[in-house]
Amino acid sequence: MLGQVMRLLVQQGVFAQSDEGYMLSPVSELMLSKGSDMGAYIGFQIHPQLVNAFSIMSNLFNEAMASHSRKLMKDVVASCPQLFDGMKSLVDVGGGTGTTVKVIAETFPELKCTVFDLPHVISNALKCELFDAVGGNMFEKIPAADAVMLKNILHDWPDDDCIKILERCREAISPVEAGGKVIIVELTIDLETHDQMAIETTLCFDLGMLMAFAAKERSKQEWHNVFQAAGFVNYKVYTVGVYSIYELFP
């Protein structure tokens, strides 16, 4: 947990790191220096009145997430249309009100699409003839389909729960000959990339997952370990922007 926080702070220059451990950087030395105004600045950012103001932004947040889903999925179907080859049905697990699956259904109208989420979420699903909406619990049973999609779902959960979710997915999908697969859309931490913006983006999300759900973003090796533990030995990886698309086969 502390390692997730320090990894981001090192990336942003708040601390430095050597083989011996962590140390102050010029930024943190400034924060600690006598007479520095940084304390007041930080206090402003965490002031209760400022923090509480965000509680009234839930509607705006939901709209923003829907907008993000639309843009991301349009990029995915445009960049990786082969993901949907050979399948006749798809279930979007944890798909909320249906923003993601609507993009898929509009792009592939011959595909039978279903959004699957908790009953109280499904009660607010988009009214659309292009897909069905089913309520339930992904830890118990997932509706049968050729393929299952999980977009920004697994990063909300620790490894043990991710494995359980993937096991339910494995039970729900068709054999590979019938297009059976699990499609996972997630960020992947890659500290070796030269894209510093991508590193900072994934590490910020990593810290957000830690604070919100005691969860995390994962590296390629960490994703590999989760997939293997859930019984998925064969998979492919595609990149769309800062996102990784994992195509898992039963």
Residues 23 and 106 in one domain: no
Confidence of residue 44 (pLDDT cuts 50, 70, 90): very low
Name the residue among 70, 66, 154, 63 with its Cα closest to residue 104: 70
User: Is 54 within a domain?
Assistant: no
Residue 179 has pLDDT above 50, yes or no: yes
Residues 129 and 177 in one domain: yes
Give the mean pLDDT of 57-85: 83
Residues 70 and 128 in one domain: yes
Residues 105 and 8 in one domain: no
User: Is 55 within a domain?
Assistant: no
Both structure tokens of 100: 């993601």
Give the mean pLDDT of 55-80: 79
Dihedral of the CA atoms 188, 10, 158, 132 (nearest 10)? -40
Burial class (CB in 10 A: 0-12, 13-18, 19+), 102: buried
What's the number of domains the chain is made of? 2
User: Is 53 within a domain?
Assistant: no
pLDDT score of 69: 86
Instruction: State the residue range of the domain holding 35.
Output: 2-46
Residues 11 and 90 in one domain: no
Q: Residue 151: give its domain's CATH number.
A: 3.40.50.150
Could you tell me where the beta strands, DSSP code E, fall in 141-204?
A: 147-151, 181-189
CA gap 146, 83 in Å, rounded: 12
Q: Phi/psi zone of residue 39: left (φ > 0), alpha (ψ -120 to 50 degrees), beta?
A: alpha
- pTM: predicted TM-score of the whole model, two decimal places: 0.77
pLDDT in tens, 34-43: 555 555 555 5
In the set 47, 68, 120, 155, the catalytic residue is 155
Start-to-end CA distance of the chain, whole Å, equals: 32
Confidence of residue 23 (pLDDT cuts 50, 70, 90): confident
Residues 91 and 23 in one domain: no
Residues 123 and 210 in one domain: yes
Q: Is 155 a catalytic residue?
A: yes
Residues 106 and 40 in one domain: no
Residues 36 and 30 sit within 8 Å (Cβ to Cβ):
yes
Residues 145 and 184 in one domain: yes
pLDDT score of 34: 58
In this structure, the strands spanning 181-189 and 243-249 are: antiparallel
Residues 123 and 20 in one domain: no
pLDDT in tens, 151-167: 999 999 999 999 999 99
